[in-house]
Amino acid sequence: MASQDWFDKDFYATLGVAKDVSDADLKKTYRKLARKYHPDSNQGDTAAEAKFKEISEAYAVLSDKEQREEYDQLRAMGSGARFTAGGQGAGGFEDVFSMFGQGRGGGARFDQAGDFDDFFTMFDRGGASGGFGTGRFGQTSGGFRGYGGPTRGADVMARTTLDFATAAGGETISLQGEDGKPFKVKIPAGVADGQKIRLRGRGRPSTDGGENGDIVVQVSVRPHPVFVRDGLNIRLTVPVTFTEAVLGATIEVPTLGGETVKLRVAPGTPSGRVLRVKGRGIKTQKGTGDLLAEVQVAVPTHLDDAAREALEAFQALEPKENPRADLMAKARV
């Protein structure tokens, strides 16, 4: 645009916002109006198309900091300003150029058609003489038929449920998006329950030349009967016998990969003690966790006569200490 329109059009009124509207509120208002009047939603409605052009044009100027400042300065001259050759007072070309430091001499006049062409070139192309600084007045910024910024394509949502081992090790799987189209996605090692995987640019295409949307895959992980994830660590509970806990022992415990590792249970190990196996947890690009084995002393539920007699003999010989004495003392504090 390179005409009286810059003086006559009120872009703030077009969008229905105040002159001091924030960038966030401006964007919010524009998006709401754009959805309402977008030609794709109003097929054959020329009035809606015209309105969409108006709001897109207004937003293209007001959303750009430099253009908005220049527009506000230009509007401050008043709606009575006119592009008239030989103007003498406020409203002539002299006012425009004196405002932006581009005057061609105190008595300059634009009496020839060539002068008008030069002036308008400054609006449309940012001309050699500098024009209004940015040289972007009247330029479009994409979008529907060149009006407004191009809109991004919609995201396609998908869900998948993985078993614990697959989530830990990663795998390439085939899925079907909500739009019914199949696609493959590489599940990275160590993906967590509830995590979202975003495939950039593989969603729906833009309707006006913008970038494609994404495919967003939400992952659910089935619980494992033995292992529990704790950050990058993997936890499990390991039962040991009473005698193993008292006398000490070397035991085998499973790992997520199916192999077993040996752990040393020290004599006098109580329930709840955690034994650590380095590097056998979740492996990701950010690091590798450990396997944490929590000891649980298994109490026998069935004893034959010989075992019972032996245990009773031990009871008679064990130290006469009350293991709950410290607990009772702390409770009385």
Domains of the chain: 5-125 (1.10.287.110), 156-221 (2.60.260.20), 228-327 (2.60.260.20)
pLDDT at residue 7, rounded to an integer: 64
Quick one: pLDDT at residue 141? Answer: 44
- Write down the pTM of the prediction: 0.53
pLDDT tens for 178-209 read 777 888 999 999 999 999 999 999 888 888 77
What CA–CA distance (Å, rounded) separates 278 from 19?
62
Task: Give me the torsion for CA of 11, 16, 17, 18, rounded to 10°.
Answer: 80
Residue 280 has what pLDDT? 94
The confidence score (pLDDT) of residue 101 equals 44
The pLDDT assigned to 268 comes to 93
Q: What is the pLDDT of residue 3?
A: 40
- Residues 202-241: tens digit of each pLDDT: 888 888 778 899 999 999 999 999 999 999 999 999 999 9
Identify the pLDDT of residue 41.
75
In whole angstroms, what is the distance from residue 290 CA to residue 310 CA?
39
- Position 97 scores a pLDDT of 45
Positions of the chain with pLDDT lower than 50, given as ranges: 1-3, 79-146
Residue 274, C-beta contacts closer than 8 angstroms, at least 6 positions apart = 292, 293, 294, 295
